[in-house]
Amino acid sequence: MLKKVNHIGIAVRSIEEAKRFYELLGAEVEGEEVVEEQKVRVAFISVGETRIELLEPTSEDSPVAKFLAKRGEGIHHIAFEVDDVEEALRLLEEKGVQLIDRKPRRGAHNTLIAFIHPKSTNGVLVELCQEG
């Protein structure tokens, strides 16, 4: 079911500031986009097949703003690519895994995404994502 790590999300206060580090390493920061539903601005850095997603909150009630206030900047989530998010959610729910999203929603770059609660995943916020 898991195809690969699609991206690793890092919560930052400012994408403008954070991207300087990656640019020092010769990486290109691309695909800046605001995901209104999640109240975040995102930007991606490709590293081989995987990407780093920088996440900056766009409002104080964004989940990323809450995370920054509580824990400061750092790794926020890991996103696994699957063929069919809806099917994965169904299977996990059947097994009693605590879901945040019971139905997929739209993520950055036209993906379908759903989050699994860190209480069911050893303290790591897990995103399932489906391309296209």
Choose, by CB under 6 A, the member of 6, 12, 19, 38 that binds ligand CMX: 38
Asked if 112 interacts with ligand CMX (CB under 6 A), we say no
Smallest gap, in angstroms, from Cβ of residue 49 to ligand CMX?
A: 18
Beta sheet of 126-130, edge-to-edge order: 29-35, 40-47, 50-57, 2-11, 74-82, 126-130, 112-116, 105-106
Let me know how many helices (H) and strands (E) the chain has, helices first.
Answer: 3, 8
The span from the CA of 89 to the CA of 101, in Å, is 8
Asked if 57 interacts with ligand CMX (CB under 6 A), we say no
Q: Which stretch binds ligand CMX (CB under 6 A): 13-21, 23-31, 82-90, 100-108?
A: 100-108
CB atoms within 10 A of CB 74: 10
Q: Which residues bind ligand CMX (CB under 6 A)?
A: 9, 35, 38, 40, 42, 53, 55, 63-64, 66-67, 70, 76-77, 100, 107-108, 115, 117-118, 123-125
